[in-house]
């Protein structure tokens, strides 16, 4: 949901709005997108994904973060601030304040009804452009679309499970996500 249709905001205006609203706002090149409150099912799926990732990565140099932590992608062409549902950052990650400014290894987005275009189109393009190695879109029915970055382009596969190409043996089934 856009804060105001056909209005382009400055980064400073966005930061003021962040303090005003209790919801996460995302900033994509002047467009401010409001994230509605999530459902219980959405939250359960996020927690299950987070648990599986944390269990697998427990003794590694990577950590799992959720939707309250901001990613910033800024360059000459883009100014983008987003809040992925679940993502993995490793020891080579860069931070500015409490925000990450380097691409995560993996991002999971749990699709909310009536809000899927943002994850399927906008975020897909952003994550591909900034070098996220794996992007997984999870429907609340359990269907997963996994995108693997190959030569700078996401290659999709639709499955009832997630199998990482980055971390050997990292595998998450639909049953584990929906339990």
pLDDT tens for each residue of 84-132? 999 999 998 999 999 999 999 999 999 977 666 677 788 999 999 999 9
- Which domain covers residue 170, as residue numbers? 38-68+83-178
Give the pLDDT confidence score for residue 25 in this predicted structure.
Answer: 76
SS3 content of the chain, % helix, strand, coil (to 5): 25, 35, 40
Into how many domains does the chain fold?
A: 2
Residue 148 makes CB contacts below 8 A (sequence gap 6+) with 133, 134, 154, 155, 157, 165
13-27: per-residue pLDDT in tens?
Answer: 877 877 776 667 777
Are residues 64 and 121 located together in one domain of the fold? Answer: yes
Is 64 in the same domain as 109?
A: yes
Pair 160, 170 in one domain: yes
Q: Which residue has the tokens 């003021």?
A: 16
Average pLDDT for residues 130-140, to the nearest whole number? 95
Q: Are residues 53 and 7 in the same domain?
A: no
Among the residue ranges 17-31, 36-50, 94-108, 161-175, the one predicted with the least confidence is 17-31
Does residue 76 sit within a domain? no
């Amino acid at each position: 949901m856009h804060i105001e249709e056909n209005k382009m905001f400055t980064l400073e205006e966005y930061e003021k709005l962040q303090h005003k609203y209790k919801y996460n706002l995302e900033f994509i090149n002047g467009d401010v997108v409001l994230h509605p409150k999530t459902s219980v099912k959405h939250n359960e799926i996020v927690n299950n994904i987070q648990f599986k990732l944390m269990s697998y990565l427990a003794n590694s140099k990577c950590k799992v973060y959720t939707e309250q932590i901001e990613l910033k992608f800024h360059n000459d062409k883009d100014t983008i601030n987003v809040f992925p549902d679940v993502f993995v950052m490793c020891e080579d990650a860069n931070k500015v304040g409490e925000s990450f400014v380097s691409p995560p290894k993996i991002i999971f987005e749990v699709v909310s009804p009536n809000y899927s275009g943002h994850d399927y189109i906008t975020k897909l393009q952003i994550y591909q452009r900034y070098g996220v190695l794996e992007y997984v879109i999870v429907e609340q029915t359990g269907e997963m679309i996994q995108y693997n970055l190959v030569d700078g382009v996401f290659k999709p596969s639709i499955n009832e499970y997630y199998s990482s190409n980055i971390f050997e043996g990292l595998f998450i089934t639909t049953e584990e996500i929906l339990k």
